[in-house]
Structure 1
Amino acid sequence: MNTEELKEILSKISSGDISVEEGTEILRDLPFKELGYAKIDNHREVRVGYPEVIYCEGKTVEQVKGIIEFMLTKNNNILGTRASEEMYEAVKTICPEVEYNKLARTLTIRKKEIKAPETYIAVVTAGTSDIPVAEEAAITAEILGNRVERIFDVGVAGIHRLFNRIDLIRGARAVVVVAGMEGALASVVGGLVDKPVIAVPTSIGYGANFGGLSALLAMLNSCASGVSVVNIDNGFGAGYMASMINKL
């Protein structure tokens, strides 16, 4: 439930279109729903503009299914990150329209259309191996109501590939740059665009990459201004932040 929907309910109670009892029943699950193993934050969209997202990793299949089963009673789009195929199959039994992206490991259910701004978000990867994290960012931004342009495999090992797509990248309202190895692409893009760059270090790389730590430190030490950094492999965090920027 967002702020406008809440205002509409209160207005209907005030005008007598629905009774106080009916309104109370609608609002009964605010601010959260207690499921025993989870407390679903139904007030989050009112507070921050976006509904709660389900981080599926570490949860059981039945827990994920139970959370989504309740969330389906609300008129919100649903996003689950780090989901397994087993979780997808379980959710499909209660919601056949659920979509699963194997690369991103995301579950998405679209319950309502969100009007996207005319501006868009660019999601850029250094290599093909970085695409799973980039897809998590892109799908997150899309389910939150944004247009996304994907520009993949344009890393510094073949910098001419980046310049071939630079106009598309420069046209974005925010740019998500996903890179492993030494993570240099974020600094390069940051020096070429006048928009916020959200850098995502990935765990892709050989041993001295230290599971993404080398890319993380390189991005944090970027000499290009306007580059911010999220955690290793955190495509969701980057997509969420890019959406907030795009809708300012």
Structure 2
Amino acid sequence: MSVSIKSEHEIELMRHAGHLLEQVHDELASHIKPGISTKELDRIGEDMIRSMGCIPNFKNYQGFPASFCISLNDEVVHGIPSRQKIIQEGDLVKIDAGLIYKGYHSDAARTYAVGEVSPEAKQLMEVTKQSFFEGIKFAKAGNHLNDVSKAIGAYAAKFNYGIVRDLVGHGIGTHLHEDPQIPNFPQKRRGIKLMPGMTLAIEPMINLGRADVAWEDDEWTVVTMDGSLSAHYENTILITDGEPEILTLTK
């Protein structure tokens, strides 16, 4: 396994890629309303990325047909935007997005509640987001990768949620997916030692029910096996000499 350490110049480019992606998420959030199709959200987001002089890194990645993964309710990740998928009151909408700025990738996901959602859905969203922050408390130079995985899993497990095991976070840089893989649950091994200059995409995917997932016929959309709701939260982070820096979240 070869985990890349970024130079100061590379970090600056990744920082900028992250800040631009944050702006895209903020803009898309304002368009998530009942009646809009996931295809329309994808178009708005892609237009914005291209207007910044960037490239949507998901488009055509291993054949993925859109610029954003937009997943609803029991869809965990990798939902393909469609004119037929119309967002409705009470939906949980997961938007996973990334862009390339001057050859460097950023990647971040958010879960949005459309109007009033159930208390269970609200808690699932909050716990998924907080599990990310519990994990990155350990994303410090000298710690091991499993310290992060363990903390994410331990927090989500307190709520008896299903922690998705078939999909994991990843390193990121000049490629969207780099070493190492970053599970959201404890491993038998400690994993790599974290070092300043590593850039990682950490992304808890948590189900209200069981952890089991399945792939739909389109071979992309991942759904919960038991039909329960799922939430997703992701940021690109930088390992530093002190606290980690979240490149896709500045406020």
What is the TM-score normalised by the length of structure 2? 0.29
| Greater relative CO, 1 or 2 (CA 8 Å, sep 6+) | 2
What is the TM-score normalised by the length of structure 1? 0.29
Looking at CA atoms only, which structure, 1 or 2, has the larger radius of gyration? 1
Instruction: Report which of the two has the higher share of strand.
Output: 2
